[in-house]
Structure 1
């Protein structure tokens, strides 16, 4: 797969017969070595990450307080004299309604322990990941059993709810308490993994600045037995919580009003689609940047323990605590809302599948799992691509010939239908493009000339 004459243009031919061993060119190995070391700060450097690590939890508390106690309005002091009482009122809400109480510790810790147990014991499909430059291009195996784990969790929750042992309505009622415990886990695991990694000498790509390295992470592939912690946390905790928050809101509505509103049903469907997609397509995750390049630090850990599950679900929190008459839509609006969600989901699911399976085709390890739903056009036969001097291939077919990030566009649209602005992907996209520009050089410029639009075809 070294660079040759085929790097001069696009190729329309099967890629399923390529050898399993990836050997980058000499130039490719040099660029991988450059990318696999710290050479510049991101996120504004040490001061920037301090601002993020302190500011984001404060923002989460502020938005939750506005949502629950001020009818969704953004509140603020109207004079300098009002700053102190305003801050005292904010702190009072956190102290009383978001304390890390025994219930929150029991429920959140129980979920973590149960999901780790299921990830360890449930049968699963073994998927080979991408070659990892820092490991001498060795590929790691990943146990993909999220489908069994997720539906095992759903069945367990249904039994506990119907027997009265654990009522689903209690989850949404303890949102603030659970959020605080999740934040504690996010900080604790981030710092704990940093110290453990450094103590065992497994750190890579370090800057030498303590707080920055805690934020970006020190370890690349942390594992407990057969469980890859990075992949486990990406799927099993945030999206399970998001889904059960929606179910909890629906259960509370049913107990209060005797019915579930179309709005709440929409959120149950939307969060199930996302959770199920991550589970049924889990074998695609090892092919992502998250697995083979992104380290396991605060950036990823806090976001998955606390950021995703307690930021993406504000619409459910609002609906569960307000009269349905305040947000009732007409039938055409509901039709448009559900249609937009399902259309965006289809593009998101199939674009992610196209990219990941193209990488599997390139490695010669593509296999199909019998999970539901497998959507049409999830795999491209004889895809066109650009062969780079690095040795990798850049897909220019399927959804990926219209945009460099069709999955992000679809993800944004789904998020907007949830009532959540997902700005995190904008910066992530910039980081990805910068990395590709260094890695592929002129081949990236050629790729950008073929796939002209970053996001929305014909617009941007």
Structure 2
């Protein structure tokens, strides 16, 4: 027994347990049935999601134009009489520098379908997911080959660059055009998956509002062969593009100045850490809410295809279009910046693996996967937990003894460093961290509300033990 007699200890961390803790009790099935129904609107309902679907792409264009054409500063009409000319200038930038030209279609589509093709043919680590309530608690198998696909992609990109078949500098040079094609992909796949789900009778948790259901999604686990499209899109598309945008920026700097600044090298490291983490720990993703509960709609599809890669690396866009003297730091500042990133990454990586491996331990599906880098304290030996009446277990060991979402806090600190790497040169690269904290707080509220319904008094007991949401002693 643990604190106040409320915690238990898992005594078989590496093997199957004698129970089936991830299979819910009768009481748990009733709460799952409730959670698997549409009861209320989120994000302001149909009007709110419509505003987001229209407003976010417009914001993406505006911030990119400010970065590339207005010295990274937020431009605006100088007077009421300037509103129309201002909008005309914005439109001309989009029309001229962000048109969905044939080149952008070939590059984005080539990358997109190359990622799908290698995901289909490259063997990977087989991981069983959690029981899915919507599938009558059936578990799905996931072919985790993202890490192999990442290195195949890196080798392919290097070969194309060195042979001058496709110069990596062209990615950042065609940022606007590629962003527009990505936006089109995001909208097309979102509406396409909605109509596909309805035509196949696979829609779940529907609200009855067409636009809201397109936004939230209609289908849970669409697949092509061994590829789970939702997990594939979450890992392969956004973070690969993000990484290669950073590499493209570095190549651009080297081409222009004969060297790469520590700031740009920082972004190459930061984006590589993230994309590599997604690959080397891909077997942890099937244990997440994203896989077994969140539907595949505009909210996820657009964000993966366009939002993440074309809004998270604004610092790269700024550095690729401005002289390095505008964001040069002292050596101690660089040391502090890199140290902050690596510390936050360590907490992010190990907290994610602790939670996911704990779920695998209780399910009896955990096997240690030898991928790089496996960090100390990524697996908790003999973890403590709360056994819920629902049937699941709530972890109270490792980083999860100090906060309910320690991974969120660490992930946000990483996002902040992606803006700090250019200092005060432009406010726009801080968009990622400002937007991200808003998303995390909202997602945290959604998750805690769902857990309160799912676990009832056991959730209250858990919250009395793990008191803080993100940061121990603070919040």
TM-score, scaled relative to structure 1: 0.97
Asked whether the equivalents of residues 390 and 455 of structure 2 are also in contact (C-alpha less than 8 Å), the reply is yes
Q: For 1:424, what is the secondary structure of its paired residue?
A: helix
* Cα distance in 2 between the residues matched to 1:8 and 1:455: 24
Deviation at 1:185, TM superposition (A): 0.2
Partner of 1:59: 59
For structure 2, the 5+ residue unaligned runs are 420-431
Asked whether the equivalents of residues 131 and 137 of structure 1 are also in contact (C-alpha less than 8 Å), the reply is yes
* Cα distance in 2 between the residues matched to 1:437 and 1:86: 49
* Cα distance in 1 between the residues matched to 2:208 and 2:220: 17
Would you identify which runs of 4 or more consecutive aligned residues in structure 1 move more than 3 Å?
A: 19-22
Q: How does 1:42-121 map to 2 (within 5 A)?
A: 42-121=42-121
Deviation at 1:370, TM superposition (A): 1.1
Asked whether the equivalents of residues 100 and 177 of structure 2 are also in contact (C-alpha less than 8 Å), the reply is yes
Deviation at 1:28, TM superposition (A): 0.3
Q: For 1:385, what is the secondary structure of its paired residue?
A: strand
Q: For 2:143, what is the secondary structure of its paired residue?
A: strand
Asked whether the equivalents of residues 7 and 389 of structure 1 are also in contact (C-alpha less than 8 Å), the reply is no
For structure 1, the 5+ residue unaligned runs are 1-5
RMSD of aligned residue pairs (Cα, Å): 1.2
Deviation at 1:301, TM superposition (A): 0.1
Asked whether the equivalents of residues 387 and 394 of structure 1 are also in contact (C-alpha less than 8 Å), the reply is yes
* Cα distance in 2 between the residues matched to 1:46 and 1:396: 38
Q: What are the superposed Cα offsets for residues 29-75 of structure 1, whole Å, 9 maximum, x if unpaired?
A: 00000000101000110000001100111111111011111111111
Asked whether the equivalents of residues 406 and 456 of structure 1 are also in contact (C-alpha less than 8 Å), the reply is yes
* Cα distance in 1 between the residues matched to 2:260 and 2:243: 15
Partner of 2:314: 314
Name which of 407, 416, 441 aligns with 2:456.
441
Partner of 2:10: 13
Q: What are the superposed Cα offsets for residues 377-397 of structure 1, whole Å, 9 maximum, x if unpaired?
A: 000011111111111000011
Asked whether the equivalents of residues 132 and 293 of structure 1 are also in contact (C-alpha less than 8 Å), the reply is yes
Q: How does 1:217-228 map to 2 (within 5 A)?
A: 217-228=217-228
Q: How does 1:52-451 map to 2 (within 5 A)?
A: 52-419=52-419, 420-421=432-433, 422=436, 423-451=438-466
How many residue pairs get matched? Answer: 455
* Cα distance in 1 between the residues matched to 2:175 and 2:441: 28
* Cα distance in 1 between the residues matched to 2:51 and 2:461: 37
* Cα distance in 2 between the residues matched to 1:61 and 1:232: 26
Bigger Cα displacement from structure 2, 20-29 vs 128-137: 20-29
* Cα distance in 2 between the residues matched to 1:33 and 1:172: 47
CA change 1:8–1:209 in 2 (3 A) is: farther
Deviation at 1:77, TM superposition (A): 1.2
Asked if 1:454 corresponds to 2:453, the answer is: no
Partner of 2:424: none
Deviation at 1:209, TM superposition (A): 0.4
